[in-house]
Amino acid sequence: MTERWLEPIGLLHGPAALHALRDGLALPLAGGPAAFPLVRMIESGQDLGILPAHALPEGWETELSLLTRRPLPFAGLPGDRPLVMGILNTTPDSFSNGGQHLDPAAAIAAGHAMLEAGADILDIGGESTRPGADPVTPEEEIARIRPVVRELAKAAVVSIDTRHAATMQVALDEGAEIVNDVTALRQDARSVRVVQEARAPVVLMHMPVLDPRRMQAETAYEDVVLDVARFLRQRVETAEALGVQRGRIAIDPGLGFGKTGVQNLQLLNRLPLLAGIGCRILVGASRKRFIGTVTGVEVAAQRVPGSLAVAMAAAAGGAAILRVHDVAETVQALRMWRACAEASAPEAA
């Protein structure tokens, strides 16, 4: 079967996008507000060249429709702006803030603080999947997350960050609404059934191998962006075939999971290509090592400015959900970014 992709080129924002859309010079990315005037045509891995978005040859209508139409609302949340997902790790060994929220009371207080700061979603996890992390049994993971999910689900849209079906089930029973699986429902054969029966929205992430202890040894790609896109498209199609509707699926390129620093930057730079899968895009880059490599900042908690720069780049590239440690800072940066993008030029007023 021929594999086809359309990659948006020259993404436009704000007044430039509005003018180009109005004048028929560009098409909306995932329903807008960003727009693209050009597309790169890719067939079976071969670059067929760049054309104006309105001048594609016949036969590319399906790919163009997926790229331009607005995905269905994810988890009933607003779709007109990037959402902020606050990271809440109830673990002793997460790479940035391991141990800070191991106590349930501390985790619950931190969750409420994130909500007050403007978080749209709280992503609660009980197992670290950082590179090199040792696995945790579902029983231990459940003991960590259960009281936190139970309490915070009363006040927030809660996502459970887990690769274990048993943990997914308990969290959903306690009020969580979203499943966020770094293995894209591959780790546990029962996971798809749990998600499907609960009709829960799910985040499918790219991770080349299932064992975090080995994933950084698996960074060989022919084209990291196309390879990640192929994987995510296949996982979305598999989930759909098993009864999980595409509107309930978000996709995550998995920055830092089996990628080099350069590959992470390539994925960010070409993020709009993933919109062609037809799902909301989640990006989680907050405080990650590649930010420290670029900026020279060794301590993860001190990478807030670099994390904000990456978050804004992801939002500009079409990310619908930003998974972050620093909620207040990200919310403020997004508000300013949107205000700048939405300011009308005098002639458009």
Contact 91, 102 (CB under 8 A): yes
259 is catalytic: no
Structure tokens at 16: 């430039």
- Cα separation of 303 and 215, whole Å? 23
Crossing angle of helices 261-269/304-316, nearest 10°? Answer: 40
Residue 35: closest CA among 9, 72, 62: 9
Amino acid sitting at position 27: L
Backbone angles phi, psi at 140, to 5 degrees: -70, -40
323 is catalytic: yes
Amino acid sitting at position 38: L
Strands (E), 155-195: 157-161, 178-181
Catalytic: which of 235, 280, 288, 303? 288
Contact 261, 294 (CB under 8 A): yes
Q: Which residues contact 206 (CB under 8 A, 6 or more apart)?
A: 184, 228, 231, 232, 252, 253, 254, 257, 258
Rg (CA), the chain: 20
Strands 38-43 and 46-52: antiparallel
Q: What are the distances in angstroms from CA 253 to CA 219, 232, 263, 279, 281?
A: 14, 8, 11, 12, 8
C-alpha 46, offset from chain centre: 26
Catalytic: which of 259, 323, 335, 338? 323
SS3 129: coil
Taking residue 330's Cβ as centre, other Cβ atoms within 10 Å add up to: 27
Contact 283, 253 (CB under 8 A): yes
SS3 96: coil
Q: Tell me the catalytic residues.
A: 288, 323
